Amino acid sequence: MLAVTILGNNSALPAFDRHPTAQVVTLDEFLFLVDCGEGTQMQMAKYKIRRSRIQHIFISHLHGDHYFGLIGLITSMGLLGRETALHLYAPAALEALIRLQLDVANTTLPYPLHFHALEDGPLLVGNDRFRINSFPVNHRIPCWGFRFEQVKAPRRLNPEKARAHAIPSSFYDRLKWGENYIGKTGEVIQNDWVTEPAPKGKVYAYSADTCYNEELAMHVAGADLLYHETTYLKDLADRAAMRFHCTTHQAAGIAQKAGVGRLLIGHFSSKYDRLDQFETEAREVFPNTSLAIEGVSYRV
């Protein structure tokens, strides 16, 4: 299972009850927090996402609307008596900042906090079923996007066929991972007689803040779902370029070039009170586009 839940869909200034960037990626039983603007812990409470389930947090860059809520979340986890380690994947400079904030409050966290610098390389964390990579994007300060990828899913077992070949249920797990079975008389039961291929692993890519940048299409190529920032409507391409942000048409153009399945757009400028025009414009270029709405989960 791969899904993303939007906690904040606005750009720098909170406005119209829209919040700065934060989202939760669900990958099977794991929750990953991506960016953490001011008020993220309140948004998590509002949408009933348990802080204790977060073990990995990814911060794309050090503009405040992407991390000012982090220190509050970290210290609240401590006040709640957390003991489980927390891993932070962020630009290296964040570590000194967090340490300083804990120091001036004379606070010692009751759990281990591990920093992983995004400058160290693209592979951030993974296991046998998924991997999470970063990729560089082009913003005013160093900034990274993230790619969540299911690398291996078990094959689908047909229990009736397995029973017909007298395979004991204790072997079912090994069947799901592709093994053949040798029967009592030495005959080989081919795996594909009793299983079907695993569904293709899903991919979710998060663009972070970026100017229009065709190289991005390479990093997010083939994603089933791409979240791409659209700070401005298409008539403000000049302003977008000046501020290293994107318009609706630019985001949708990247989605098209990258051949993604579906586009989710967010990071809306606070100059817009209504959002419907964002969807209309993006769909002119890439029809399978949705607005990122706070509190909504998008299944990949």
Closest among 65, 225, 75, 197 to 143, alpha carbons compared:
65
Name which of 46 and 156 has its Cβ closer to a second copy: 46
Pattern 176-215, a second copy, x by CB under 8 A: ----------------------------------------
Q: How far is CA 136 from CA 17, 94, 232, 256, in A?
A: 30, 17, 22, 20
Which phi and psi angles does 28 have, rounded to 5°? 50, -120
Give the shortest CB-17-to-a second copy separation in angstroms. Answer: 8
Give the shortest CB-95-to-a second copy separation in angstroms. Answer: 11
The Cα 184–Cα 135 span in angstroms is 51
* Residue 236 in the binding site for a second copy (CB under 8 A): no
> How far is C-alpha 291 from the geometric centre of its chain's CA atoms?
16
Applying CB under 8 A, among 32, 89, 91, 224 the residue interacting with a second copy is 91
Give the shortest CB-267-to-a second copy separation in angstroms. Answer: 14
* Residue 79 in the binding site for a second copy (CB under 8 A): yes
Name which of 91 and 253 has its Cβ closer to a second copy: 91
Contacts of 104 (CB under 8 A, 6+ apart): none
Q: How far is CA 105 from CA 25, 102, 169, 223, 243, in A?
A: 31, 5, 56, 43, 35
Q: Restricting to residues 92-151, which ones interact with a second copy according to CB under 8 A?
A: 93-94, 96-97, 100-101, 104-106, 140-141
3-state DSSP: the chain helix, strand, coil percent, rounded to 5? 30, 30, 40
* Residue 153 in the binding site for a second copy (CB under 8 A): no
Residues engaged in binding a second copy (CB under 8 A): 12-15, 19, 38-39, 41-42, 45, 62-64, 68-69, 71-72, 75-76, 79-80, 91, 93-94, 96-97, 100-101, 104-106, 140-141
